[in-house]
Amino acid sequence: MRLLQLQQGRLRYEVLVAETFGERLRGLIGRPPNWAMLLPGRSVHSIGMRRPVMVVALDADFRVVEIERLEPMRLCSPKDARWLIELPIGCELPTKGETLRITG
């Protein structure tokens, strides 16, 4: 798993990148509550999670296309998503339409 930084103006997230099927399947399950994860794909689930997460959907250019709170035991499949970021509840979020920059 790689660690990347996503940035947009005042926002900066350090995110783990899920590179294998197993890492993608596990997501944030069992990880510290302040971690964030970048997942390739168009959908994400919260089956097995004990707390809700925020899901930021990005298009192929890393432009924010949707932001959704995902409760435990649910599925999220935002339209036009190519990448999804799972973030802890309470962190500062980008706004729809912003483009995030990747470094690292």
Residue 24 sits at φ, ψ, to 5 deg, of -65, -40
Domain boundaries, position 72: 2-103
Contact 27, 47 (CB under 8 A): no
Non-local (6+) Cβ contacts of 49 within 8 A are 27, 28, 29, 72, 73
* 30-87 confidence digits (pLDDT tens): 777 777 899 999 999 888 888 899 999 999 999 999 999 999 999 999 999 999 999 8
Single pTM value for the model: 0.86
What is the number of domains present in the chain?
Answer: 1
CATH of the domain at 9: 2.60.120.1140
